[in-house]
Chain A
Amino acid sequence: MNTRSHRSRQAALLALNVVLALIILVPFFWMVSVSLKPAAEPFSIPARLWPENPTFDNYITAFRPEFRTYFMNSVIVSLSTVIITVSLALLAAYAFTRTHVRLLIIAMTLVIVTQMFPASAIIIPIYKMMKGANLLNTYTSLILAYVTVTLPVAIWMLRGFMANLPLTLEEAAAIDGAGPFRTFFEIIVPLCRPGIVATAVFVLIVTWQEFLFALSFTSTKEMRTLPVGVNDFIGQYGIRYGELMASSVMISMPVVAVFFFLQRQFVAGLTAGAVKG
């Protein structure tokens, strides 16, 4: 009896997993498939799951000089955001977990409240500020906006992680004569590495795919990032699906690679912060 219900449970879970995997993977598969089809094929009837004559032509067209500019812009903006956000979040999370000042605890809660506003609601005021500061169409405007958006979540991710570090370690460091900065950089930060990796990957994903701010704040091709740049293939008279999908695949690759190499640490980081919150 027991083992039978156990087994049917297992089967149900497996089925659920397959369905979830399909929901996630089918669009991705479709993206790859379309990117490999020659220009005439995407809308040929009957529709094919996989191109009859796969070709890399779309990739060759998509990998134009503009793409390379967009790519560099994305790298600069995303990496800067990751570095700034994670650094600030580490300091803030440490302060928040190691203080018992009531005011700071209230501030910590307010930090998460900022997440309640959708990007479309804050974009206009931020745009006005950027304009006032003469920062429109610069990396700085995007980096500042992205740090604003990602910092609260990053603080909370790292806070959960740091709250679980035993206090004894800092006490031991204090006895050993280490000051607060030394303790922070030599004890706390190294021990938070899984949490730092998880937070950095999260920030990277958010900024790498961000569209709305990038579209609003940049006006010239030289400053565009990848998600906006892909739009070049969406013209007034039609959409060039083959090149569009080829670009999308190329955009996804760096994130997929990061995930691939860091996935063990990433998962460890997520759960380590989550178990005892």
Chain B
Amino acid sequence: MILASVTLSSVSKFWGSFVAVEKISLAMADGEFIVLLGPSGCGKSTTMRMIAGLDDPSAGEIRIDDRVVNDLPPGKRDLAMVFQNYGLYPHMTVADNIGYPLKVAGVNREERERQVRAAAERVELGGLLERKPGQLSGGQRQRVALGRAIVRTPKLFLMDEPLSNLDAKLRVYMRAELKHLQRDLGTTTIYVTHDQVEAMTLADRVAVMANGKLQQVGTPLDIYNTPANVFVAGFLGNPPMNLLPIAIADGRVQDSELTLAAPAGVNGAITVGQRPEDMRLSETDAGNMAGEVYTTELLGDSTLVTVKVGKNLVAVKTDKNTKVHMGENVGIRFDPKHLHFFDTTSGTRVAFDASR
């Protein structure tokens, strides 16, 4: 198998004085499926375009298989890319679009047709091969772009939100299909998305980005269970982790609706966090805090109860049969095993000794 490792060392990109990507260092192993996850405008596409060779890094070094590629043109990097805005050739049919990389590579017509048909089959475009991109829906165009990428077996796949325009059902299907394809081919894949479900389901490792900076890199479970900072904690999960700013002195929470025994070493301006599914509703006086029910939403498999505690809204995921009403007073109890503490000023996770 032809595999590639990709290494970014302190890679930055400036647009004038604007810093789009700031000192990103990331090592991707052979055959790994890496997802770049982050909100809109955080520099995901820019990072990917630098790896592809479409934008030059302003600083830093990009290596593919230990070879510095900063000055290597895209065509020489042996990678396939799905563009966020498709980048289909409007004057060519779907078949010619998918087959273009093969044509450039000098593959003969018969072989080309065979491979195009196989790729089209994989992205469910079998019946549309003779259409022009202008005659396709957004989702179909996106699948043509995907087909053009997978028709080859490059060293590296780059995919910039390749499923963003598909309807929910097709997206779930294509997600599974992509995962399978990547397993089959074993091709190192870098995948950009702002959809955390996509990131969680596809990735071997997720790299979370915000404001051009790398926030955390880890397995989906890692970043979900041990978020490195307030941003990651508040970005992942649906709804995301509840975050409450408090002050702790001498192991006691000061002036707050919250009563909580703080672990040793956790002091000062602290943001305490817990995921909605780790919290429980309780009698008003039996919880760590109490408040008034703000909304209840039936999610299907569970009910999401939002409680107003002081100025904060706290989300609690409860059993789907929970009967509470808006305006009712309830207590909320933390699960002490799943508490997270962050330094409020820096936002970084505070390690603590859980054994106490």
Contacts and interface: CB of A to CB of B under 8 A. Distances in A.
B91 A175 contact: no
A135 to B, nearest CB: 40
Contacts of B53: 174
A177 B83 contact: no
A174 B83 contact: no
A175 B81 contact: yes
A166 B54 contact: no
B54 A176 contact: no
Contacts of B127: none
A179 interface: yes
Interface string B139-169: 0000000001000000000000000000000
A192 to B, nearest CB: 10
Contact of A168 (B73, B87, B91, B100): B87
B89 A175 contact: no
B85 A171 contact: no
Contacts of A174: 53-54, 73-75
A176 B104 contact: yes
Interface string B310-341: 00000000000000000000000000000000
A34 B86 CA distance: 59
Given A166-B85, A168-B83, A171-B83, A176 B100 contact: yes
B272 interface: no
B83 A191 contact: no
A169 B100 CA distance: 12
Contact of B148 (A176, A178, A179, A193): A176
Contacts, number: 52
A166 B88 CA distance: 10
Given A168-B83, A171-B74, A176-B148, A187 B54 contact: no
A176 B101 contact: yes
A164 to B, nearest CB: 12
Contacts of B88: 172
A171 B89 contact: no
A179 B88 CA distance: 17
A169 B83 CA distance: 10
A190 interface: yes
Q: Which of B74, B80, B87 has the most CB of A within 10 A?
A: B87
A187 B105 contact: no
A182 interface: yes
Nearest to B49: A171
Interface in A154-184: 166, 168-169, 171-179, 182
Contact of A172 (B79, B89, B91, B105): B89
B265 interface: no
A48 to B, nearest CB: 53
Contacts of B104: 176-178, 182
B52 interface: yes
B41 interface: no
The main secondary structure of chain B at its interface with chain A is mixed
B74 A187 contact: no
Chain A interface residue bracket vs B: 10 to 19
A7 to B, nearest CB: 37
B239 interface: no
Nearest to A171: B54
Contact of B105 (A171, A177, A190): A177
Interface in B83-104: 83, 85-91, 100-101, 104
Contacts of A173: 89, 100
A179 B85 contact: no
A175 B79 contact: yes
Given A171-B54, A182-B104, A191-B90, A176 B75 contact: yes
Contacts of B100: 173, 176, 178
Interface string B213-239: 000000000000000000000000000
A172 B87 contact: yes
Contacts of A190: 91
Interface in B264-318: none
Nearest to B106: A177
A158 to B, nearest CB: 17
A187 to B, nearest CB: 6
A269 to B, nearest CB: 15
Contacts of B52: 175
A189 to B, nearest CB: 10
Nearest to A172: B87
Contacts of A193: 91
A179 B106 CA distance: 13
B89 A187 contact: yes
Interface string B118-147: 000000000000000000000000000000
Nearest to A179: B75
B154 to A, nearest CB: 9
Nearest to B104: A177
A193 B148 CA distance: 24
Contacts of B73: 174
A177 B152 CA distance: 11
Nearest to B151: A176
Nearest to A191: B91
A212 B53 CA distance: 53
5 contacts: A168-B83, A171-B54, A175-B52, A177-B105, A187-B89
Q: What 9 pairs across the A-B complex have the smallest Cβ distances? A: A172-B87, A168-B87, A176-B101, A177-B75, A174-B74, A177-B104, A190-B91, A175-B81, A175-B74
Interface of B: 52-54, 73-75, 79-81, 83, 85-91, 100-101, 104-105, 148
Given A166-B87, A169-B90, A175-B74, 13 more contacts: A166-B85, A168-B85, A169-B87, A171-B74, A172-B81, A172-B87, A172-B88, A175-B79, A175-B81, A178-B75, A178-B104, A182-B104, A191-B91
Interface of A: 166, 168-169, 171-179, 182, 187, 190-191, 193
